[in-house]
Amino acid sequence: MQKTSARLLSLLSLLQARRDWPGTVLAERLEVSQRTVRRDVDRLRELGYPIVAVKGPDGGYRLEAGAELPPLLFDDEQATALAVALQAVAGDTGIGEAAVRALHTVRQVMPSRLRRRIDTFDVTAVGRQPSIGAGVLMALSAAVHAREVLRFDHDPVDGDRGADPPPRRVEPHHLVVRGGRWYLVAWDLDRADWRTFRADRITPRTPTGPRFTPREVPGGEVAAFVTSRFRGADGIGDWPCRGEVILDLPAAEVSRYAGDGLVEELGPARCRLSLGSWSWPGLAAAIGRFDADVEVVGPAELREAFARLAQRFADAAYSRH
């Protein structure tokens, strides 16, 4: 028999899973007597969980909504879905800040195995997202990090697939967000070329294929590659000056002010930002508005622009006029 504390957690998890539970079924699932179930229910009530008795032939219990929020219990899938959902709304101007705080809170209490899983989910939402299931995003992210060949169905832009085409077979390399949409950057095995797929049009197939050796995207930088794919198609990415930096800030926070920039999460409080502007000093100034330490990835013109602005600002700070 489980210890009391472990049994209480199991009981709470069951009560959260569906609306009504007959007492006999709970007793069978927990492998205890109905009397023990009644005692455990009373203990949960003392902790603030509003559990009511359900009338009927077998009797039972229901976890009601309460006036106050007691401690919650999530299984692995629920915790993962919650973290993904919070990332998906982190770019919303209305609730984005609250979502970021909630995500950090959830992450702090996650077991290490789940924190590692969420930390590998290195994408962030920028603005309002098209409809896409968290399961699809997690499947794509898992294939990227496992370096496993992915098979999936891909809906065309017009939604008319005609005769059922064969599934796409790709080596997934990066999952990024740009302009409010999720994209998978992958090497297409059947076309022997790099492709960028809208994630909301992907339906993954299982199982995934064999492991593959990662390739280098054209140009060596995923941000520049993705930007080049859209240059001239939507008016984004045509800036004469474009650079890349690493900021000591959460990606979800940066994404709210990155405009048409590309944000990649590197950790809970660290991200890579690719941004464009009309001039190098203008780009440096735009990046400088983020109150965080900056590491310039490139190019050299951006680094030089930071140096010129630093001197200009220092002169202004000590000016007596």
CATH code where residue 252 lies = 3.30.70
Copy the structure tokens of residue 241.
């000056």
The radius of gyration of the chain's CA atoms, rounded to the nearest angstrom, is 25
62 in Cβ contact with 22 (< 8 Å): no
- Decide which of 39, 63, 87 is a domain's last residue: 63
Distance CA 117, CA 79 (A): 11
- Decide which of 27, 42, 63 is a domain's last residue: 63
E runs forming strands in 29-156? 51-54, 60-63, 150-154
Residues 72-93: tens digit of each pLDDT: 666 677 777 777 767 666 654 4
- Decide which of 63, 89, 105 is a domain's last residue: 63
Residues 256-267: tens digit of each pLDDT: 777 777 888 777
What sign for the dihedral angle of Cα 14, 17, 23, 26? negative
Domain annotation covers residue 241: yes
Domain annotation covers residue 217: no
77 phi and psi, to 5 degrees? Answer: -65, -40
Q: What is the pTM of this model?
A: 0.43
Domain annotation covers residue 262: yes
Domain annotation covers residue 278: yes
**Alpha carbon separation from 124 to 35, 52, 91, 200, 249 (Å, rounded):** 48, 40, 8, 15, 13
Domain annotation covers residue 189: no
CATH code where residue 41 lies = 1.10.10.10
Q: Output the average pLDDT for the chain.
A: 77
The mean pLDDT value for 90-109 works out to 62
100 in Cβ contact with 252 (< 8 Å): yes
Domain annotation covers residue 296: yes
Domain annotation covers residue 150: no
Q: Which helix (H) or strand (E) holds 133?
A: none
Into how many domains does the chain fold? 2
pLDDT at 70: 57
Domain that holds residue 18: 4-63
Residues 175-230: tens digit of each pLDDT: 887 766 778 999 999 888 898 888 888 999 988 889 999 999 888 888 778 877 76
Between 245 and 81, where is the model more confident? 245
Copy the structure tokens of residue 216.
């280098």
Domain annotation covers residue 73: no
